[in-house]
Chains A and B, each alone.
Chain A
Amino acid sequence: MVGVPLWWRTTETYRAWLPVSQINELANMQLQLSADVEVVFARGTVTPEQQKKVPLTQTQDEEHTVDGDLIFKAWDHRFESPCGSLVVYVIPESSSLLPEDMDVYIGQRRTALLRIGAQMRVGRTVEQLLAHLEPRIKQVLQVMSFSHTDITAALSDRVRLSPGNKESIADSMRAFKSSPGYEITFSLLNPDPKSHRLHWDIEGAVQTYIQPLLTKLAPVANFSLDSQTLYYAMLGVNPRFDSSSSAYTLNSDSLAHVINPVEARLGSNAASSNPVLNFLLYVPDAHHSPLYIHDNKKQEVPSNAFHSPRWGGIMVYNVNGFYRPEAVLPVDININMAKVMGVFLAQLRLLLGVQSSTAPPGFLMAPCGSTGLADWELDRLMWSRSVENVATATTTITSLAQLLDQIGNIVINDNIAEQVSSAVTSLQLAVAELEAGNLGFALQYSKEAIMASERAFFDPSLLHLLYFPDDQKFAIYIPLFLPMCVPILLSLLKIVSEARQKRREKQAKKD
C-alpha cells in the first residue's frame, strides 16, 4: 500500500513547470511591423487651400500572407521617432535640388527627397495628389525600410518557403545568420618574405575605417577584432601567365580552391563560439607579380578581390609597381590601407547582410559616408535582424516544448524553466515593440529572447539518456519483485481460501 506511491515518487523525474500554453500561442502568432513615415510637403507642391485639406494622420495597412502561416501588416503613421522612422520631403517638379532624370534622392540619414510628377502641377484635388504620391512613397519605403521579400527571407527559418530565383538563394546564403557576436580577423599573407618586407598599419586602419562602422552596428551585435601576418603562405592554385596583359591571372573557377589550403593555416579564437569573418590580404610573390583576378567574361576585376559566403574575403594586392626590378631585395613596402580597407569594408557590408539590393531606376543614392553605412541601411538591417531573431527564438522554444513533451524522461531543472519563461516574455515584448514601431527596443528584446532560448535549448542537462525500452524495464523489475511477490501472492491466496472456507462453515452452521 505504502510501497507503490513511494516507489512512484522516487522513480519520477523532476520536471519544473513550463508555460506551455503561452508557447503554443507563440507558435500561431501574427507579426505586425510598423514604420513611421513623415511626409513633408515643400513650398510649391500644394496650394494653401489644399494644405488645409490634407489629413493630418493617415494610416495604411498592407497585409501580406507568408505561406498562409504568418501574416504581417505595415502601418504608416505621421509621428516622428528616431530609429526606424523616415522623413520624405516632397519637392516641386521644377526644383533644382535633383538632377533632371532622377525623381528620388535617398540621403545618408533617414531622409528622402521625392519629386512630384509633371501631371500634378495645377488644379488637382488633394485626393488625386495623395493617390499619385502613395505608390511612389511605398516604393521609397520598400527600398529604405523593408519590403515583402526582405521579411520573408528573414522568416525563412520558421517558414520554409520554396526557393525563388537564383539571386534570392544566393542572397540568403551569403550573409551570416544573426548571432550575438562576431569575430573579425585580418590576415596578411606574405608568401615571399625574401623579396618583400611588408608593413601595414592595421591598428590605425581598423581604428579609422572599420571601427566607426562597427560602433554604428553596436546595437546589432558585438564585434571582436584581431589581426595576424602569415609568412610562406601560398595560394593553393597556380596562376596562369597571360601574355596579352603580361600578368598572371586567376580565373573564377579556380578561386574556389584557393581558400581551403589557406584556411588550415589560419588560427581562430578558441575561446568563443561566435562565427568568424576572415579577411585576407595576399601579396603575390615576386615571380608571380602582378596577379589579377578575372571574372567569367575574362575581364579584370577592378577590386581584385573575391569573397566567399559566410566565410570572408580575399584581396590580392600587387606591389610590383612600388619598386624597380633592379632594387635590392628585400624591399620595404608600405601598404595603402585606404584602398585595402575600402574593399574589405564593402565585403564586410555584404557578409553582414547590409546591402543586397540595387536601386530602382530613377533613384539616386547618396554615398555612404565616413562610417560606410547609411542610417536607413542600418534600419533595414535592424528590421530583418529583429524578425529573424523573433522567428528563430520562436522555433527554438516551440521545438523545445515539443521535445520535452515527447520524451517524458528528461529532467527539467528550475533554471531551464526560468530561461524558457524569460524567453517567452522577451518574445512577447519584442512582438509588441515591433507592432508599435520602436525598432531599437524591438531588436534588444529579440536579442534577449534569442539568448535565453538558446541557453535553454542547449543546456547540457537536457540530454535524454533516459531511454528505457519496455523490455529493459521488465528485465530490471522482474528479478527484484518476483521473488518477493511469490510468498505475498501465496499468502493472499491462503487468506482468500480461508475466508471462503469460513463463509462455507457459517452457511453450514446456519442450515
Chain B
Amino acid sequence: MKILTFFSLFSTFLSANSINVEENAGQFFSSGHTNNWAVLVCTSRFWFNYRHVANTLSVYRSVKRLGIPDSHIVLMLADDMACNHRNPKPATVFSHKNMELNVYGDDVEVDYRGYEVTVENFLRVLTGRLPPSTPRSKRLLSDDRSNILIYLTGHGGNGFLKFQDSEEISNVELADAFEQMWQKRRYNELLFIIDTCQGASMYERFYSPNLMALASSQVGEDSLSHQPDLAIGVHLMDRYTFYLLEFLEDIHPASKANMKDLFKVCPKSQCVSTPGHRTDLFLRDPGSALITDFFGSVRKVEITMETINLTDLIKEAEQKDNVQQMLEMVTNEMNILKLWFDSNKLSLNLNKTKFMIFGNHTTNIDVKIVIDNKTIERVYESKFLGVVLDHKLCWKPHIKYLCMKMARSIGILSKTR
C-alpha cells in the first residue's frame, strides 16, 4: 500500500517535472531582460559607520553568489573598513557577531573607493555622463534589456541622503536621474533598495515607469542597527539588511521566490521600523517578478539550430583549380549575360564570340562552352586592343605579328628604292 502511494507520488513528480521544463522554456522571455546590473553604494565614512560598509558588502556577496559577474557590478564604498587601522581583524568585514560571516571575502572588486564616492560620480554613473577616459569597470553599460538593482545605504533624512558627511543627494535629483535613464532606455526594470533613516522619503518622488522601490523605514522613523560586536567595538549591520541577507542566503540561482516574499522581509517586530515599498510604477505584477530577475543573472539560452557548411566551401575553393568547374561557372554566367542582353533588346553575336583558357601547364582537355545551343569556338591566340594575347601568355605571337606588319612596310619601302 505504502509502496503504491510512493510510486504514484513519484510518477506525479516526474510528470510535473517534465511540465516544468516546458514552462521554463516558455518563461524564458517573460521578464524581458537579457542581462543584469547592480549598483551598490555605501555613502558613509568613518569607523563608527562600519555597519554601512558591511551592509553593502553583504548585498554584493549575495548578488555575486547568485550570478552577476564583477564586470556588471558597480561597487562604491566611501571608506575602507577592512584595512582601517582601528580594525582589530584586518582584511575582514563581519556581518554577524562572533565573527561568523566575513562578507569581505577573497575577490571583492571595489570600483569607486574613498573620496571618489560623491553625489556627482553617483549621478554620472547612473546617467552615463562619464568623461571618455573612464575605464569600463567604472561604467554602467546597461541597455534597454537590462534589469538593474540599486542599493543605497548610509545616513539619511526626510528627502535626502548624506554622502561622505559633506554633501547630500535629494529625492528630486534621484527621481530626475532615473527619468534620464528611462529617456535613454538604460534599463528594462529597476529595483531600488534603500536602508537609511526615513528611507521611504527617497522614493516618494519617482515618476518613471518600471521602478520598484523598497525602504527600511517610513518617513519620521529611524532605521536601527542590529547587533554590536564587543571585540570589534562597533555595530556590525543594520537590521533591515541583516534580515535581507538572511533571506537572500536561502535563494539559489534556480529559485522561484518572487518579490512579494521580499516585501515580507523584516516585519516591524524584528526591525522596529516599518519597511515600505512602492510598486505603482512597476508594470508587471510584483508576484510574477522573481528575486533572481534582479539579484541574480539567469541567462536566456537558445539552442543553435543552424550551421553554415564551410567544409563544402573549402572543397569548392580547392576545386577551383579544376578547369571543368571553372568552365561550368563561366557557362552559367554567360547564360545570365545572355538573358540580360535579351531583356535589353541587344543581341550577342555568338559567331564572333571566342574563348581562350590561359595557363602555363598544358591544358589539352577537350572543353566545350555552349550558349543557347551554340558551341563557342576555342582559340589559342587572339588580338585584343592591338596586342596579340597568347594562351601561354608569352610574346611570340605578338612579335610575329609585328614582324609581319613591319615586313610589309619595309617591302614597300624597298620597292621605292
Chain A residues within CB distance 8 Å of chain B: 40-43, 89, 157, 166, 169-170, 173-174, 177, 209, 251-253, 255-260, 263-264, 268-273, 275, 293, 295-296, 301-303, 305-311, 313, 315, 338-339, 341-343, 345-347, 349-350, 367-370, 372, 395-396, 399, 402-403, 407, 457-460, 462-465, 467, 469
Of residues A252, A260, A346, which shows the largest number of chain B Cβ atoms within 10 Å of its Cβ?
A: A260
Chain B residues within an 8 Å CB radius of A367: 309
Contact of B21 among A177, A253, A302, A462 (CB under 8 A): A253
A460→B129 contact, CB < 8 A: yes
Contact bitstring B197-220, A, C-beta under 8 A = 1, else 0: 000000000000000000000000
Residues facing A in B90-143 (CB within 8 A) are: 119-120, 123-124, 127-131, 135-137, 139, 141, 143
| In the complex, B301 has a CB within 8 A of chain A | yes
A347→B184 contact, CB < 8 A: no
Q: How distant is the Cα of A57 from the Cα of B65 in the complex, in angstroms?
A: 65
Q: A264-B69, A307-B302, A345-B308 are in contact. List 18 more A-B contacts (CB 8 A).
A: A177-B143, A256-B301, A257-B298, A260-B69, A270-B136, A273-B136, A273-B141, A295-B303, A309-B34, A311-B34, A339-B311, A342-B308, A345-B310, A458-B127, A463-B123, A464-B176, A465-B120, A469-B170
B70→A308 contact, CB < 8 A: no
| In the complex, B378 has a CB within 8 A of chain A | no
B343→A41 contact, CB < 8 A: yes
Chain A residues within an 8 Å CB radius of B306: 303, 346
Closest chain B CB from A156 CB (angstroms)? 9
Contact of B299 among A308, A339, A342 (CB under 8 A): A308
Chain A residues within an 8 Å CB radius of B343: 40-42
Contact of B339 among A42, A311, A342 (CB under 8 A): A42
Interface size on B, residues (CB 8 A): 64
Q: How distant is the Cα of A311 from the Cα of B217 in the complex, in angstroms?
A: 38
Pair count A-B, CB < 8 A: 177
| In the complex, B249 has a CB within 8 A of chain A | no
Could you list 7 examples of A-B contacts with CB < 8 Å?
A42-B339, A258-B301, A306-B304, A311-B34, A342-B307, A464-B176, A465-B119
Contact of B22 among A296, A306, A465 (CB under 8 A): A296
Interface pairs A-B: 6 shortest CB-CB: A399-B183, A260-B67, A305-B304, A342-B310, A255-B301, A310-B34
Closest chain B CB from A173 CB (angstroms)? 6
| In the complex, B342 has a CB within 8 A of chain A | yes
| In the complex, B297 has a CB within 8 A of chain A | yes
A268→B71 contact, CB < 8 A: yes
Closest chain B CB from A403 CB (angstroms)? 7
Contact bitstring B288-316, A, C-beta under 8 A = 1, else 0: 00000000011111111111111101101
Q: How distant is the Cα of A139 from the Cα of B336 in the complex, in angstroms?
A: 23
Q: How distant is the Cα of A268 from the Cα of B68 in the complex, in angstroms?
A: 16
Contact of A253 among B25, B302, B305 (CB under 8 A): B25
B307→A372 contact, CB < 8 A: no
Q: How distant is the Cα of A269 from the Cα of B317 in the complex, in angstroms?
A: 35
Closest to A294 in B: B303
Q: How distant is the Cα of A36 from the Cα of B25 in the complex, in angstroms?
A: 41
B308→A313 contact, CB < 8 A: no
| In the complex, B331 has a CB within 8 A of chain A | no
Chain A residues within an 8 Å CB radius of B299: 256-257, 259-260, 308, 311
| Contact A346-B313, Cβ < 8 Å, known A311-B35, A459-B129 | no
B254→A257 contact, CB < 8 A: yes
B123→A465 contact, CB < 8 A: yes
Of residues A253, A255, A311, which shows the largest number of chain B Cβ atoms within 10 Å of its Cβ?
A: A253
B307→A263 contact, CB < 8 A: no
B29→A209 contact, CB < 8 A: no
B143→A302 contact, CB < 8 A: no
Closest chain A CB from B301 CB (angstroms)? 4
B145→A273 contact, CB < 8 A: no
Closest chain B CB from A347 CB (angstroms)? 6
B29→A407 contact, CB < 8 A: no
A264→B70 contact, CB < 8 A: yes
Q: How distant is the Cα of A340 from the Cα of B77 in the complex, in angstroms?
A: 44
| Contact A306-B302, Cβ < 8 Å, known A458-B128, A460-B129 | yes
| Contact A303-B305, Cβ < 8 Å, known A177-B144, A273-B139, A467-B172 | yes
Q: How distant is the Cα of A459 from the Cα of B129 in the complex, in angstroms?
A: 6
Closest to B209 in A: A160
Contact of A157 among B70, B129, B137, B185 (CB under 8 A): B185
Chain B residues within an 8 Å CB radius of A341: 310
Q: How distant is the Cα of A345 from the Cα of B304 in the complex, in angstroms?
A: 11
A343→B69 contact, CB < 8 A: no
B297→A260 contact, CB < 8 A: yes
Q: How distant is the Cα of A315 from the Cα of B310 in the complex, in angstroms?
A: 16
Chain A residues within an 8 Å CB radius of B308: 342, 345-346, 349, 368, 372
A293→B310 contact, CB < 8 A: no
| In the complex, B233 has a CB within 8 A of chain A | no
| Contact A407-B176, Cβ < 8 Å, known A296-B21, A463-B120 | yes
Contact bitstring B75-94, A, C-beta under 8 A = 1, else 0: 00000000000000000000
Chain B residues within an 8 Å CB radius of A40: 339-340, 343
Closest chain A CB from B221 CB (angstroms)? 23
Q: How distant is the Cα of A136 from the Cα of B267 in the complex, in angstroms?
A: 66
Closest to A407 in B: B176
Residues facing A in B234-283 (CB within 8 A) are: 253-254
Contact of A307 among B127, B253, B297, B304 (CB under 8 A): B304
A347→B304 contact, CB < 8 A: yes
Closest to A259 in B: B299
Contact of B342 among A43, A177, A275 (CB under 8 A): A43
A403→B303 contact, CB < 8 A: no
Chain A residues within an 8 Å CB radius of B300: 173, 256, 308-309
| Contact A252-B303, Cβ < 8 Å, known A270-B136, A460-B131 | yes
A463→B311 contact, CB < 8 A: no
Closest chain B CB from A122 CB (angstroms)? 21
Contact bitstring B370-404, A, C-beta under 8 A = 1, else 0: 00000000000000000000000000000000000
